[in-house]
Homo-oligomer: A and B are copies of this chain.
Amino acid sequence: MRATIIHAPGDIRVEEVPDPEIRHPTDAIIRTEATCVCGTDLWSYRGIHPVAAPQPIGHEYIGVVEEVGSEVATLRPGQFVIGSFVASDNECEHCRGGYHSACRRRELVTGCQAELVRIPLADGTLVALPEQPGRELYPGLLAVSDVMGTGWYAAVAAEVRPGAVVAVVGDGAVGLCGVIAAKELGAQRIIVMSRNPERQRLALGFGATDLVAERGAAGIAAVRELTAGSGAGSVLECVGTGESLQQALGIVRPGGNIGFVGLPAGVDISGRQLFHSHAGVRGGMAPVRRFLPDLIDRVLGGIIDPGLVFDLVTPLDNVAEAYRAMDARQATKVYLQP
C-alpha cells in the first residue's frame, strides 16, 4: 500500500510499504476513505519532536473495515467507521468515567496518512455508522475524529452551559471547532481571539459573536471591556503556549473555567496566579471517543459542519505539499484523499 513516511524533519514522502496486518485478535484493519494533517504532526516535521528513524505518521481517519481480528465482536468488514487517535477499550473505569484518553489499555493510533491502517482495541475504539455516508459528509466526519472532538472537550472542560459567556484563545482548527462546540452547548456570547481574516470569517459563521484581534495585555483588556470588566465564564485555550495560557488566565472570570487542549510543553503555571484567579482549569488529550456518537449524529443530521475547517484538499500523493502549506500557515488544515 501507499503510506506517508517521515524520514527527517522537513522530509516527508509517500512510499510503497507492506500492508498492515492483524497483530492482536482485538485489532481491525481499515481502508481509509480520508485522512488529514494535524498541527501536532508538524512537531515532527519541524524537528520539535525528534525523528530517530523513518516512521509512519498521521492519526486522523475515516474508513471502511477491511478485516477484523478473531476477538472483534461488534464490527464486520464493509462497515464505515470513525475512531479517535487514542485506541481505548471503552470498558475500564477511566473509559466509563469518560476519560478514554486515559484508558488503562490505551494505545496511540498512528500511520493513518496511508491507504490501510491497523486499529488496536477495535471494538472499543471504532464507531460504525449505520450506513455508508455521502462523500459530502466526509470532511465533517473526518474532523470529528480529532479536531472537532478536541474542540468539544475544550468546551466541556471549560464547562460551557446555556447562556455562557465564552472566550476562545486560538483560531486554528481546534479553536474554530471550539466555537462550534460552544454554540451547540448554548453559549450566549462567543468571543474569539483572532487576527486572521479568513479564520475570523469561519469563526463568525460557526457562531462567534465578537472578535478580538489584540494579543497580550491589550487582548486581555479588550475581552474585559467586552465583558464589563468581569471576564469570560468559560475560556477555551486551544494553543498550548505560555502566552496563550496567560491570555486565558487573564480573561477568565473568578469562579470561571478554563479548558486547555494544546499540550503546554515546557510551560509552568504560577500556583499563586492560579490561586488568585479562582478559576477551574482542566486540560488533557481529549477523550474524543466519549463524544463520537453524539458528534457523528450532529454531522449526519447537518446540525454542525466542522469539515469547513479544511481549506485545502489534495491527493495523498501530494502529502509533502500539504505539510509545507500547513507549516507555512498557508493552510489551516489539509484534507488528504488516499
Spell out A's residues near B (CB within 8 Å): 93-94, 97-99, 101-102, 157, 230, 240, 242, 245, 253-255, 260, 263-272, 274-285, 287
Contact = CB atoms under 8 A, between A and B. Distances in A.
25 contacts: A94-B230, A98-B255, A99-B278, A101-B278, A102-B255, A102-B278, A240-B271, A245-B271, A254-B284, A260-B271, A260-B275, A263-B272, A263-B275, A264-B272, A264-B274, A265-B272, A267-B272, A268-B268, A271-B283, A274-B281, A278-B282, A278-B287, A280-B281, A280-B282, A281-B281
Nearest to A278: B284
B284 A277 contact: yes
B265 A268 contact: no
Contacts of A242: 271
Contacts of A260: 271, 275
Contact of A254 (B102, B255, B276): B102
A269 B278 contact: no
Nearest to A263: B275
A245 B268 CA distance: 14
Nearest to A259: B280
A30 B74 CA distance: 71
Nearest to A157: B280
A111 to B, nearest CB: 23
A99 B255 contact: yes
Contacts of A94: 230, 253-255
Contacts of A278: 99, 101-102, 282-285, 287
A271 to B, nearest CB: 3
Contacts of A265: 271-272
Contacts of A98: 255
Interface centre among A157, A274, A276 (most CB of B within 10 A): A274
A285 B281 contact: no
Given A102-B278, A265-B272, A281-B281, A254 B97 contact: yes
